[in-house]
Structure 1
Amino acid sequence: MAVKCAGWRPMARSGICSISTQPVDEPSGRVDAVRARWCRFPGMTHLRSFGSRSLVLLLLLVGVGPCAVGQVRVLFDAAHRENAGNADWVIDADSWDLDQEHYPCGQWENESRAQRHPTPAPASILPDDPETTWTGALSAFGIDLVKLGYDVESLPPGGVLSYQDATNPQDLAGYDVLVLPEPNRPLDAEEITAVRAFVQDGGGLLLIADHQTSDRDCDGFDAPHIGNDLMGVVISGGAITDAGLFGIVFNVEEISGLSDADYWFDDGVDDNVSGDPDDPLIHGPHGDGSGGLGLFGATSMTLDRQANSTARGHVWKTDTPEQGDRRVTAASAWYGAGRIVCIGDSSPADDGTGDLGDNLYDGWDKASGGVNNREIHLNAVAFLADAAPDTVPPAAVDDLRARPLDADRVRLEWTAPGDDGTSGRAYRYDIRRAATPIRTAADFAAAVPLDDEPAPADAGAAEAWDVTGLDPETSYWFALVTEDDFLNRSPLSNTSGATTGRAGSGGPVADHLLLSEVQTRGAASHDDEFIEIYNPTDSPVDLSSWSVQYKSAGGTTYLRFDLPATASISADGYYLVARPEYTGSVPADAVQSVFLMSAGGGHVFLVDRQQTLAGCSGGSIIDKLGWGSADCPETAAAPAHGAGASIERRPGAANAACGNGQDSDDNSADFALREPSEPQNTGDTEAPCGPAGPGSVGPSLFVGLEQVDALEWAAAVAADTYKMRRSSRADFMQTHPVPDDTWLLLQVADTRADDPERPDPGTAYFYFVNAVDLEGNESQD
């Protein structure tokens, strides 16, 4: 058999090389591919292609032993008092003769003495061997790694962490991953330098801490402080003045503004994990980590992406739903060619076995609550051993659309890109606005960054976000850039503009009855509920054959209340349906005891017949409202609301003289919170105050970037289409005002169009664009 060297890759940290062989066509026929890794001795410069027997003979003659094919070597540190007190963070110990002080201070006992090679040897471990085959609270961790094909060793007490030291038989150059499981004895300056160099050259470091003051051997040092020193963190005057090499800081009491909730807490089922489907710790090769970690006596971490742009969280405390840079319980970062994973507690790795003199607990794969301690730790080792830097940016968003909702809000809509191109989930959006189109990187840099952007959804999902607090009758242009967790930035999105409506004008007004205000609980009683109906039309409506129906947020059962035979609603009037427990300021027009509504989420349907609905859409549904966690709202759900508050259709409190008639078929856009609630009944009438026709595009008409005959403008409130007019005369709209179509060039639904008649070179043309609503009404400017 002959093999051909496809190439060898020198490992920067150790002189180890990886050789891949591939099939070679020989006269005797095609041979199989072989992949192997060898440990190269000093002075060895290259390998030549030989027959397979010759190659093995060469390796044996020069004394270079082949490592197991594809095998990763993991070193568990046991030289820095990982055995102190009730800790026994070793994979195997055959003796317990280290007389050490432990907490409570002044007491001494014999602790485990881990040896370099576990016994029995890793090579003899069988698939069914239990964790107790070795003795140590991390024996399950070690044995599971061996069963997955890793090689494991311990650095025994008295050992030294070194890098590129040929005199040290356990020099880090011979390993791929170093595990520091809650060290209680500080690393000295040379060891710190060695570990940092090991990582920088491509090694992996799993650093496990514990809670503040977890000083198990009474020497004045605990794992969070030792870890911070190793990472180069500096805390001075109550502040983090240097977040170190990795941008990860274990929270300790010297940092002002923190409490036990940051550095000494239990979080028994910490399942607040990253939603990124490509997260290497949560969705790695060794199992699903979605159940998170079981934390008991833990510290959390603070990330500083200015110090290290690759710092990222994988798990956060359950009280931190925003998943930002604080209260992180599992984090990672790159440094040079290598990487680090930090976990804020040793409990998840504890398998409950080991030194019989210690109080150990069932973590690892025995913890309750469905946590995935085992999978996250094993995935962490896989990530540390064989990761590649992410250099692929998210794809550019090319369908950004700005849509004005009313006088101070614009809705942005787009399709989510991925973490890598169009796959996965990105890390964050950088969304900005300007008074003119944002077409270039320079335009984007000069634009105003917006706050509180939404977190990206999975690639391909529809995104929608409302920009609020804008000025009336003002044109705004928007664009965005997407970042992944390595701060790879996407190309600039397309730009899209919108012109807000007139102050107090609200959005489009409906031509049918509407659900106008809903309260699901009163200030004093959860059953104090009402449903208000509004008639924005100029004709009364007989309600005697109508019904109001309710469905829970995610349910499929519809509960129906039939309106009384005498029910009717006047033009511009209201009708109030309430529970018997209702305590509002005006009396109810009808009382129902058929259903109770949930404040967290639900649906109300206004139906023009008295038949129970079979689904959440259909011609008999005149209007529907979903709030909170509702699964079938109009476009998007209105907000959930608290006791004594309500959700009210706009313009509502924003213009008390107007009826609640805005209807854009989007519950989130049409409803706002009102506190306290203000029910109205048949004794009240208010005319709607919607816009008289569509809004204006404003002074937002621009020549396109690509070609002079491409035009774009900002969207107008309630616009369905746009008319483009053109003339060689500047005053042509004064002599032929709207709706005159003498100079009409085209009518389009988009906010961008090309002049189909290609203007003659050297000729000046003037353009006018105005909005047209569904009824054919045109804006005048």
Structure 2
Amino acid sequence: MRKLLRSLCFALPVIGLMEPASAWAQTKVLFEAMHAQTAGNADWVLDEDSCGTAQRYPTPAQSGITATTPETYWGGAYSSFGVALVKKGFSVESLPTGGRITYGDTSNAQDLKNYKVLILPEPNLRYTTAERTAIQAFVKNGGGVFLIADHGNSDRNNDGWDSPEILNELMTGVSWGLHFQVMGESDNWFNDNPDSKYTTDTTSPIVHAGAYGRATVGKGLGLFGSTSITLNPSANPNAKGHVWMTTGTAGSNSRVTFATSTDGTGRIAAIGDSSPSEDATNGCGHTTHNGWNESLYDNALIHLNAVAWLAGAGGGGGTSDTTPPTAPSGLSASAVSSSQVNLSWTGSTDNVGVASYNVYRSTDNASFSAVASVAGTSHSDTGRTASTTYYYRVTADDAANNESAVSNTASATTPAATSAARVILNEMLVNEPGSDVTKEFVELVNVGGTSIDIGGWSIWDSTAKRHTFATGTVLGAGKAIVVFGSTSGIPAGTPNAVGASTGTLGLGNSGDTVTVKNAGSTNVDSFAVPSTLAGTDGVSANRSPDASATGSFVLHTSVSTVGSSPGTRANGSAF
């Protein structure tokens, strides 16, 4: 893992790409979606709840995105691009139809001054003079703009203007030193896959020294219908090529397929094809190419490196940062089960900003291997072996890939293995007292010997999903959790209780089927409550023996003198 591998002689290579997430925690990326980005079969948007209009905030909310969220979380052909940026720590928005492109207009909530990066994915309508002026001012004053064009004659809305012409017009009046080839000019429509003729400049923030890793020799871009870019270094000596057509010459000013430039304190990135940045997640009758997810090419890596550079990461054309962060401190380790060790530490500082932390593990306190890269100052190391001592160290990275010295070493010994977690339905009140349906409840009990994360699990009745457990919900061994119809129905003092996420459990008073499913939608437990166990107001169905996986369900009054016992054992004692 870069410099530290040599100094500590770690046993394993880097695991995956480093993820500079926290460095971008306050960095907003705006995807322009108001210039016919959904014309024809086009779908260059993050998400659209209404066909033809990409709303400002994609839904579901980006706060729900985790490391494992699929790109289908959103519905546009730029969903992969957007979800990947959120995973890196960026915040993304769309500029929808009806929005305004301004710079310095405080009456505009989406004024470009509020963003660090502006992405222009294959516009099909010309920018007005005022819009061009605003975008140029945005760049001049430190913004980053990503120009994504397509092949000549890619006129999706048949108005006589295609994206290379529109983006060339955008660059009139400024000296960015870039020109997209248009119809009538050479190399304006071609396929090139793989397109991997890279620059020899090892400081290139796009292919060699990017924030998210180095592009692989022989992979490059998958271009399917691209135009090329011509550089004009006499107009701007900072106009640089990073990738060239296979038939081109690296270092030349023509047949460039990915380029960058600068203006004032801002940055520009440009590519001649939208295929590498799109996916095949479409709605509203659109059809697009699944370029982002093609493993034969480095499409995603190159685009993410470009956004990081546009946002201020170092490398070729940006400010060089060679100062590593300070070493993390106060590392502690705690074995919370026979298979999991939790780590926490005090964060590092950096002259630009800490991007991520690298976690190393050893079983002999001599040879350490990289096991994770995380954005925060904690990590849960799962899948460990029982009755084993593990040693840990942590380092910090910044966005320029400078790695800190190591933290202190912390160790923890996992306990002997216990029985696996097992979650059961233990008690259900389907016939609420009176008519207050908020007091209906379902009680789950973990009768196994280890804790289990039930985040994403759900509770269903016979007709619909009624509750989804929040991310990070953990049910301890021998513990219970109760879901009520609503938070307002939770009796005071009830332990570990939540309200149904849908606002109701909707259980039928004459009987109902209650099912609990895990995050993969596999049934964990299910019981069809018969009318004989649902006929009395305020009396639940409870397992007998209580909290027994093999117990049958009976009226609660058969195992206790009270009608129900949500959150406690049937006899009133605590779980």
Larger RCO (CA under 8 A, 6+ residues apart): 2
Larger Rg: 1
TM normalised by structure 1 equals: 0.37
TM-score, with normalisation over the residues of structure 2? 0.50
